[in-house]
Structure 1
Amino acid sequence: MNTAHDRHAPQITSDLGRRVAARRTQLGLSREEVAERAGSAPGFIAYVEERVPTPGIEFLVRLANALETTVQDLTGYRADLAPGGGHAGHQARMEEIGEAECWELLDGHGVGRIAVEEGDGLAVFPVNYRAVDGEIVFMTAADSSLARAAASGAEVAFEEDRLDEAFSQGWSVLLVGPVRTVSDGASVQRITDAGRPEPWAGEGRDTMVTLTPRRVTGRRIRVPGAPGTPSGAAGQA
Structure 2
Amino acid sequence: MSETTPESGDLGPRVAFHRERLGLTREELDKRTGIPPGSVDYIEENPVGVTEGALSHLADALETTRGDLIAGDVPQPPGHDRPASQELDPAECMHLIAPGGTGRIAFADVPGPTVLPVDYMVHDGAVVFRTQAGGPMDQDLRDGLQDADITIGFEVDQIDEAEQEGWSVLIQGPVHPVTEEELPAVTGPGVDFRAGDERELYVRIAAQRITGHRIIGS
- Structure whose alpha-carbon radius of gyration is higher: 2
Q: What is the count of residue pairs matched by the alignment?
A: 137
| Identity rate, percent | 34
- Counterpart in the other structure of 1:179: 175
The verdict on how the C-alpha distance between 1:149 and 1:195 changes in structure 2, with shifts beyond 3 A counting, is farther
In the alignment, structure 2 segments of 5+ residues that lack a partner are 1-73
- 1:132 equivalent in structure 2: 123
Output the CA distance in 2 between the equivalents of 1:195 and 1:159.
24
- Preserved CA contact (<8 Å) 2:103 2:155: yes
Give the superposition deviation at 1:112.
0.6
CA distance in 1, matches of 2:209, 2:189: 23
RMSD of the TM alignment (CA)?
Answer: 2.1
The two structures have a TM-score, normalised by structure 2, of 0.57
In structure 1, what is the equivalent of residue 166 of structure 2? 170
TM-score for both structures, normalised by structure 1: 0.53
Equivalent residues in 2 for 1:70-85, closer than 5 Å = none
Say whether the 8 Å CA contact 2:84–2:217 is kept in structure 1. Answer: yes
Find the aligned partners of 2:114 and 2:138 in 1 and give their Cα distance. Answer: 13
Structure 1 segments unaligned to the other structure (5+ residues):
1-85, 225-237
1:107 Cα deviation from its structure 2 partner: 3.1
Equivalent pair of 1:90/1:223 in contact (CA under 8 Å): no
Q: How far apart in 1 are the matches of 2:101 and 2:86?
A: 23
Write the distance in 1 (CA, Å) between the matches of 2:199 and 2:138: 10
Residue 207 (structure 2) aligns with: 213
Paired with 2:140 and 2:119, the residues of 1 have a C-alpha distance of 17
Q: Distance in 1 between matches of 2:177 and 2:91?
A: 26
For the residue of structure 2 that corresponds to 1:208, the secondary structure is strand
Q: Which residue does 1:87 correspond to in 2?
A: 75
- Tell me which amino acid in the other structure corresponds to 2:158: R
